[in-house]
Amino acid sequence: MSITVSEGASVAFNRAQLVQMFAHAPGFMALLVGPDHRFELINPNYRTLIGHRSVTGRALAEVLRDAVDQGYLALLDQVYRTGEAHHAESALYAMQAVPDGPIEERYVDFVFQPMKTEDGQVWGISIQGVDVTERMRADQALALSEARYAALFSAMATGFCVIEMKFDAEDRPVDYKIVEGNQAFEEMTGLVDPYGKWVSEIAPGLEQHWFDLYGGVARTGEPVRFENPADIFGRWYDVQALRIGRPGAYQVAILFNNITERKQSEARQAALLELNDAIRDLTDAGEIAQASARVLAQAMGVSRAGYGTVDTVAETITIERDFNQPGVTSIVGTLSFREHGSYIEDIKRGETVAIADVTLDPRTAATADVLKRISAGSFVNMPLMEQGRVVAMVFVNNATARQYNEGDFQLMRDVAERVRMATQRARSEAALRESEAQFRVFAQATPIQIWASWADGALYWFNPQVYAYTGQRQGELDGSDGWLANLHPEDADRAAETWARAVASGQVYETEFRVRRHDGVYRTFMVRARGRTDRALGRLQHRHRGPAQSVG
């Protein structure tokens, strides 16, 4: 038998050689003869492909109805008629070995090769191919897995990315390339379409600790979890990192969440607790403002913080004290807003002014050099209002540009409120001390005997006239019942009961009783007491009533 293949090369085969070649072929093979495509030869792999049906010597249309229904007979007719080969990859062959039996889907790469005589006439078709079902299923499973992976990480609220580390000649981690990531990664970093780019190009200035941490994971394969700030993004992250791929690829998978709000809340709470401790015992308004400025500057990590009174007519701020980090010069004194920019108009409206970079903001670009000379490359000015007027301002300055966020503003508001309350407390206490001092001067000079008690009725203070009358020493009359020992026995119970009712009800205490003088003589006194609300004290005044007139 002489067979000429379609490329024109003439090769002679006998049947024995063909059978041997078919039997040892790595894929499936079949030889069809004539226009009705009768099976002349098939190999074991082809027999497996068609479900071990007996087809030798029979036409394809007779024995492989499933192939006919799927258009393979039409393809064979076309090859036989035109003499042109037909190639296909990953073609579906739904094999049904038995009518009405189960259908098994197979995928095949194959070629229908026309067999020709020496004069170019087609006398048969060689079928050669490979069953790629397992590969296709693996590819489909992989595609499904990748689709699920993509859908999962696309929908995740957690940021995800894969990076590839770069090490320098001394094996130090110096950079990383962003290989892939999800939408949350872009949202949490602010990096748009960063894939395939080095972080040094798209986020220059990223802190070295990120490279060190990820480099350690890439080198050792030890996963890590940590919380770190990224100042370049103005955010805190909770991060998990683990190595993926082969060790030498230096690829690291990263899962992370933005915890900036939580960290800022923790920092605010810590700062406010520290502030409470710092100003608890202070009584001077200036010292309160100074301590608050220190806490605020350190909590926010800025160069300067302080308070000042604002004159919106003169457009000035007067700063009595400020807190400055080492190397930063104080700006205590009166400053003109107009010399530092046009943002006074915002302050007059009671609006907070937050400028991240004085060289870029149109309100300060022209005066940027002036601001930088006083370490105010960025700043926040927060007006404080009273009765609808701007009367003061809390401010922070930073020598370099930086972003400020709502957490910063909330901390400034909280600190300002505590300063206001502490200042009011200090002023009230100062006024009380002055009032107490005036009372004591009066009480020392008056001839009337005066007592003072706590809210529970225990007496704690007596003016000199009381001691002069009773002849007792300081402290001997203190307490709930020390004073009763000097009353006439017939008056003591009634006086005590009346006093207890007045203390319990808060009503005016008014009565008369006899008090023993230092020489043993009893004199009658009219006693009147009224409660005080500022310290919840009761003051007791008592007067001696003589036969003809009342005297103190």
- pLDDT at position 348 over 70: yes
Amino acid at 513: F
How far apart (Å, rounded) are the C-alpha atoms in residues 262 and 268? 10
Q: pLDDT over 90 for what percent of the chain? A: 55
- pLDDT at position 13 over 70: no
368 pLDDT tier (thresholds 50, 70, 90): very high
Residue range 41-61: mean pLDDT, rounded: 94
- pLDDT, residue 10, reads 39
Higher pLDDT, 279 or 32: 32
Q: Look up the pTM and report it.
A: 0.48
- pLDDT at position 541 over 60: no
- pLDDT, residue 17, reads 67
Q: How far is CA 111 from the centre of its chain?
A: 60
Encode 423-470 in three state secondary structure.
HHHHHHHHHHHHHHHHHHHHHHHCCCEEEEECCCCCEEEECHHHHHHH
pLDDT tens for 404-427 read 988 889 988 988 888 888 777 766
Residues in CB range of 467: below 8 A, 6 or more apart: 473, 474
Residue range 147-164: mean pLDDT, rounded: 81
Contact 397, 302 (CB under 8 A): yes
Q: Which of 448, 546, 542 lies closest to 487, judged by CA?
A: 542
- pLDDT, residue 533, reads 55
Average pLDDT of the chain, as a whole number: 86
| The residue to which tokens 């020493």 are assigned | 473
Comparing 94-108, 151-165, 474-488, 494-508, which segment has the lowest mean pLDDT? 151-165
| The residue to which tokens 């009166």 are assigned | 334
Sign of CA dihedral 341, 347, 348, 351: positive
18 pLDDT tier (thresholds 50, 70, 90): low
- pLDDT, residue 6, reads 39
- In the DSSP assignment, the letter for residue 506 is -
How far apart (Å, rounded) are the C-alpha atoms in residues 188 and 327? 35
- pLDDT, residue 193, reads 87
540 pLDDT tier (thresholds 50, 70, 90): very low
- pLDDT, residue 430, reads 67
Taking the CA atoms of residue 349, residue 352, residue 357 and residue 362 in that order, the dihedral angle to the nearest 10 degrees is: -20
How far apart (Å, rounded) are the C-alpha atoms in residues 362 and 355? 10
36 pLDDT tier (thresholds 50, 70, 90): very high
How far apart (Å, rounded) are the C-alpha atoms in residues 131 and 90? 9
pLDDT tens for 323-339 read 999 999 999 999 999 99
pLDDT tens for 187-197 read 899 888 899 99
- pLDDT, residue 178, reads 95
137 pLDDT tier (thresholds 50, 70, 90): confident
363 pLDDT tier (thresholds 50, 70, 90): very high
Residue 63, classed as helix, strand or coil, is helix
Residue 332, classed as helix, strand or coil, is coil
- pLDDT at position 546 over 50: no
- pLDDT at position 234 over 80: no
- pLDDT at position 12 over 70: no
pLDDT tens for 453-490 read 888 888 988 888 999 999 998 888 888 888 888 999 99
| The residue to which tokens 């919840």 are assigned | 536
Terminal alpha carbon distance of the chain: 152
Higher pLDDT, 287 or 16: 287
